[in-house]
Structure 1
């Protein structure tokens, strides 16, 4: 292969890799509860306060730190979440620590389905956006009174599976960053190939 052609092939490979790395670097990993982790030894607004300090977007990952056999992470509907209904579970992660990928926009609801844990405050609701947004202002919302728990779920919990939708196109800011990095790399490689 000619040296100039080899330079163009190398430039193409480097530019493509730089664009992919730039896009992937935008996703964040959020450890639920930070140092507290995912535990029922909290007050009723621990996780809502934690969520209010974060912005969640498509491509991010939630990490739930918990001891296997003492906690789990169940996804459920808003109604079941509001009622701490641990019998209407959509899916469950029962091996700690557990990771959950946020693959689509919308509201997500999580509880620990162990008896009493949700009513003690081990529940989390978040809103996932398509692109980064300014974090919401901190506000204190009054805690809802504890509700009675339904019987514990059966051992036939459905494992969580990732949603099958595709992520939306990158935001304008990420496209701009990707474009600048691609242009910079192209100029650098072009200069390298010329000299």
Structure 2
């Protein structure tokens, strides 16, 4: 076998391997963060259970996949799309639109937890623990990933947001009573008053007629 043939075979093998690695996924994947090491931090030695950046670099992430954090209440899980928040290891200046806190503010320590995070935004996603005022993040309990489109979001994750909640109307918001401005009359009263006016006119005419007749006769009685 000549050197040119060997070189050709090596080139073909590299191309086939590259094509296979770039092939689109055929299913959604659940990624256990840190594999068997889980998501843990030793506060005595200030060390993480594993190298999470190396773990993330060995995975391929796509929309619709899930990250499974097997951890405890001694750690938190922060998901953010904000690089500045990630680098600061703090959510103090973050926005509710780009940063999400899982297990934040838990006061019961050493409680086993499993936190499941869906990947719903394509592009850079950042994860860290802000426990111990960011010390865990600063010592390696953090990683970043790039989420590919893959199969796209499944129907269960591709839903429109719920409508904005509105308070139901209270008793003070009941419709006010209908009032008739001064100078205007209701339909029923108008008919009654018109009828009364006709009766008055009729009485006046009757008395006038009697007065005329009485005058001709020298008096009414």
Q: Decide whether the 8 Å contact of 1:40 with 1:118 is kept in 2.
A: no
Q: Decide whether the 8 Å contact of 1:51 with 1:126 is kept in 2.
A: yes
Q: Deviations over 1:82-109 (max 9, x none)?
A: 1222423522111821000012311111
Q: Decide whether the 8 Å contact of 1:32 with 1:38 is kept in 2.
A: yes
The higher radius of gyration belongs to 2
Q: Deviations over 1:41-75 (max 9, x none)?
A: 4459811100110000011000011112x111012
* 3-state DSSP of counterpart to 1:127: strand
How many residues were matched structurally? 112
TM-score (norm 2): 0.45
Find the aligned partners of 2:116 and 2:83 in 1 and give their Cα distance: 21
Moved over 3 A (4+): 41-45, 162-165
The alignment's C-alpha RMSD in Å is 2.8
Equivalences for 1:1-195 in 2 at 5 Å?
A: 26-41=27-42, 42=47, 46-68=51-73, 70-76=74-80, 77-89=82-94, 90-94=99-103, 96-115=113-132, 116-131=135-150
Structure 1 residue runs of 5 or longer lacking an equivalent are 1-23, 133-161, 166-195
* 3-state DSSP of counterpart to 1:66: strand
Q: Decide whether the 8 Å contact of 1:59 with 1:103 is kept in 2.
A: yes
Q: Decide whether the 8 Å contact of 2:122 with 2:147 is kept in 1.
A: yes
Q: Deviations over 1:117-157 (max 9, x none)?
A: 1011101211000128xxxxxxxxxxxxxxxxxxxxxxxxx
Q: Decide whether the 8 Å contact of 2:67 with 2:116 is kept in 1.
A: yes
Find the aligned partners of 2:159 and 2:143 in 1 and give their Cα distance: 23
Structure 2 residue runs of 5 or longer lacking an equivalent are 1-24, 107-112, 152-156, 161-221
Q: Decide whether the 8 Å contact of 2:37 with 2:50 is kept in 1.
A: no
* 1:36, distance to aligned residue in structure 2 (A): 1.2
Aligned counterpart, 1:145 = none
Find the aligned partners of 1:35 and 1:44 in 2 and give their Cα distance: 10
